[in-house]
Chain A
Amino acid sequence: MQKNLKFLIDQKEIEAAEGKTVLQAAAENGIKIPALCYHPDLKIKSNCRLCLVEIKGEKGLVPACRAIIKEGMEVKTRSEKIDRTRKVNLELLFAQHIEECDDCNLAKDCLLLGLAREYKANIQRFLDRKKNRKVYQFGPIVFDQTKCIDCRNCVEVCAEQSVGFLQSRGQGAGTEIFPSLCQERDCVYCGQCIMHCPVGAIEAAGEFENSEEFLKKDGKIKIFQFAPAIRASIGESFNLPAGSVVTGQLVAAIKALGADKVFDVSVAADFTTMEEAQELIEKVKSNTTPCLTSCCPAWVKYLEFNYPNLIDHLATTRSPQIIMGGLVKTYWAQKEKINPKDIMVISVMPCTAKKYEIQRKELEVNGLRPVDYVMTTRELAYLLKKKKINLAGIKPEAADSPMGDPSGAGVIYGASGGVVESALRTAYYKLTGKNLEKLEFEQVRGMDGIKKAEIDIEGKKIKIAVINGLGNAKKVLEELKRDPKAYDAIEVMACPGGCIGGGGQPIPVSPEIRKQRAEALYLIDQGKANRLAHQNPDVIKVYEEFLNNDKIIHKVCHTSYNAKTKGEIKILKNSKETK
């Protein structure tokens, strides 16, 4: 059992578990110690030097992020000396960081700015030495060197993703973080760098600057659709606790923004499940497993770029947002007697790679992109706040039918393990004609990076691997090189914890926050009368009325992949000039 230690912080007695750092113990007890380079997902780098504290008996100031608590220790978090180092250190940080606070990821939540106020730092004390540094755009990701404070969080998280695209070079004040020019490394747009940047130096294209553009487009019918993971995360942007489920408020808020219809992408996830379950069955029957999931566009690009020889194993089933956009512009448009060209489909996604996914040419249906614009969870929250729509206080509304009510299976798509769990529920039915007695696959749930399970379907054992985080995916892909039949079904989500930890989600994020978001999705599933994609009446109806032949199913629900070469790295004049 873990032992609790008692010690003093600023003369207040604190109790915390053995092995914790002073910074963690302080945070648990509501004592604020400033820290910029610290992130619970990352290694301790201790390079921002803001968390320095005094510990009785120790020489000089000690970084709280590294100091392990001891019984009876005495910690001081404020003193003349500490305050002076923090003040000057903040001034030195601002000397590297161009303030562009009016359109920043962090806006009011900016740690730097808050600390500057608290410690009375003169943020203009030094001339910005990085004002002539570059602003890069690669795919939908924009990295502004003029704001970067060289903490290297992004470099670490990018390496952790086994992408290694963002790197650091140079020495001293010549240090710079830059996108790799190496042809063997390319960004997959997962956006984890954004999630771990403490100063808003990285954002997704269109976030904040262009968010409103599409709302101004006259004569278009604006269809909004929101991803499974958003309902359990956007509340955080409106001061609700992590894991608050706000599906109805989300719909109402989007409507208040001027949407003509609001659909729930979880319904489309049910279509994805139907198709993917079928693919899995076929791959098992033809002994061409493993079947790799394909709803995560960052993962798909990662595979296309790094492991093109495995492309044949990727499920051809389109991701839920693309299936839904395709259905809106075909099935729904026909039903409503609307010219699909007059429809604008806007997705709200927990993801930055989804901005890239919609540009893939092979996804077009009748010459139209299924989805016209993707905004991140952050982007929607920003826009709602700008329009003074308080999501937390708005009266909930139901999403529009016929694609408004998903099965529970469609909702858990937002968490790591959710896609495979949904597909197995349906595959089991398709193979046996019966539903599983126990629907929950506990082994594939949770935050572990690699989860393994085996399921017996009438004597046939299906081996499953569920992965979140591309670094973990790499491990399993390397395992496949040695043992190609190690698994039958492999689910990969590029982000930690799956889409709930996606690169478009509210900041900050932590293992605890991701856990709460995921649990919220599983609770929704548990509370649903229907938890099976194949029993969703809307889905059944669409299959009967529209998706009733292979040609149309293929057109709307399937796609193709190809080996990718390195994408373009653009240099912008400033971060406002994004595309």
Chain B
Amino acid sequence: MIIERLKKEGLKGRGGAAFPTGLKWEAVKNAKADKKYVICNASEGEPGVLKDLFILRKYPEEVIKGINLAMREIGSDSAYIFLNPKYFPKLEKKLKKAIKDLPIVLFKKPHGYICGEESTLLNVIEGKPKMPRLKPPFPTEKGLWDYPTLINNVETFYQAVQVAEGKYKAERFYTLGGKVKKKGIAVLPENFTVRQILEHTGNWPNFDFFVQVGGGMSGEILVSEELDRPAGGAGSIIIYKKNANPMKIMRKWARFFMNESCGQCVPCREGTFRLNEALKRKDFDRELVEDILFVLSEASLCPLGKGAAVPFIGYLNKIYAKKP
């Protein structure tokens, strides 16, 4: 019943990958196993995204309700909330109050960007190395301790409840940051374009700018002419001044990905390190940088490595190249 409604409303995952929620729930529901798990991914590890914190603060009961709904629907008697360690002290009491005696464990996520990646998250809960698993099998087939596992983002659970209760308005929570006038969370229709969101929130800049959407590190770069499309990803919009120091911007990204690479595969372990090195140099070796970005995006084992190349490629093609 709820699965049909999720499908009908077209709810998609709000963690970044936008996988249809109904299909995911259905896959776990149909999986044959004597145990199933539900995990609420509250890692929110992508800098510049704060909407899960907002939701958990404001609507903890709704999120727990959503987790419980999923558990009942797929036939699970055990759930986890995989919570960002920075959020943990702020939210622990609130969430425990909302959980009451439901079999939902509050799990403090260790530090590290990669831990928020869903298969790494599984390894972390199981006490294994903080590294992504090879997919397939997907968590819906073999997840926590190899049991079918439903992993959804905080907002997805919140929205699922809205769907179940007939209150769903096809909205999402946007995080606005960078050189905006009004930082913070905006709740607006999910089909709003970036332009509409900026205009609606009174954030359209009066200077030359570009934006990074979907995540403050791995998000895509869009110039002001490209804003007639939704924000996507985890729903963040960060505004940069177009004439911001390119090296400073790129070095920030490079340092981040180098520090957060788990080290499992060659392109990401070595590539992010070499990218950071190349950007530290005074002479910018574009051929080298593009080679590294190419293997990162084409050959990395997990979404982190692939995502690491995204902002650079956009920035180099759309903004850097156009500089005099």
Whether A89 pairs with B295 at a CB distance below 8 angstroms is yes
Whether A171 pairs with B270 at a CB distance below 8 angstroms is no
The CA of A91 and the CA of B272, in the complex, are separated in Å by 14
Chain A residues with CB under 8 Å of B268's CB are 172
Whether B294 pairs with A92 at a CB distance below 8 angstroms is no
- The answer to whether A44 and B134 touch (CB under 8 A), given A49-B300, A61-B299, A175-B269, is yes
The CA of A92 and the CA of B268, in the complex, are separated in Å by 10
Whether B266 pairs with A49 at a CB distance below 8 angstroms is yes
Instruction: Using A46-B265, A52-B299, A66-B134 as known contacts, list a sample of 15 further A-B pairs with CB atoms less than 8 Å apart, ordered by residue number in A.
Output: A47-B265, A47-B301, A48-B266, A49-B295, A84-B295, A89-B266, A89-B295, A92-B267, A150-B269, A171-B130, A171-B261, A172-B260, A172-B272, A173-B272, A173-B273
* Chain B CB within 8 A of A170 CB: yes
Chain A residues with CB under 8 Å of B123's CB are none
- The answer to whether A49 and B301 touch (CB under 8 A), given A66-B134, A88-B294, A172-B258, is yes
* Chain A CB within 8 A of B35 CB: no
Chain A residues with CB under 8 Å of B270's CB are 92-93, 95-96, 173
What are 28 A-B pairs with beta-carbon distances under 8 A? A44-B134, A47-B264, A47-B301, A49-B265, A49-B299, A49-B300, A49-B301, A52-B299, A85-B298, A85-B299, A88-B291, A88-B292, A88-B294, A88-B295, A89-B267, A92-B266, A92-B274, A92-B292, A93-B270, A95-B274, A129-B273, A149-B266, A171-B112, A171-B261, A172-B259, A172-B272, A173-B272, A173-B273
Which A50-85 residues have a C-beta within 8 angstroms of B? 52, 60-61, 66, 81, 84-85
Write the nearest CB–CB distance from B113 to chain A, whole angstroms: 11
Chain A residues with CB under 8 Å of B292's CB are 88, 92
The residue from A49, A61, A175 contacting B263, defined by CB atoms under 8 A apart: A175
- The answer to whether A61 and B298 touch (CB under 8 A), given A170-B263, A172-B259, A172-B260, is yes
Chain B residues with CB under 8 Å of A95's CB are 270, 274
Chain B interface (Cβ within 8 Å of chain A)? 112, 129-130, 134, 258-274, 288, 291-292, 294-295, 298-301
Q: Which secondary structure dominates chain B's binding surface?
A: helix
Q: Which of the listed residues A44, A84, A125, A171 has the most CB atoms from chain B within 10 Å of its own CB?
A: A171
Chain B residues with CB under 8 Å of A92's CB are 266-267, 270-271, 274, 292, 295
Chain B residues with CB under 8 Å of A84's CB are 291, 294-295
The residue from B263, B273, B295 contacting A85, defined by CB atoms under 8 A apart: B295
Whether A60 pairs with B263 at a CB distance below 8 angstroms is no
Chain B minimum-CB-distance residue to A36: B266
Write the nearest CB–CB distance from B19 to chain A, whole angstroms: 14
Chain A minimum-CB-distance residue to B290: A88
Chain B residues with CB under 8 Å of A170's CB are 263
* Chain B CB within 8 A of A174 CB: yes
The CA of A60 and the CA of B305, in the complex, are separated in Å by 14
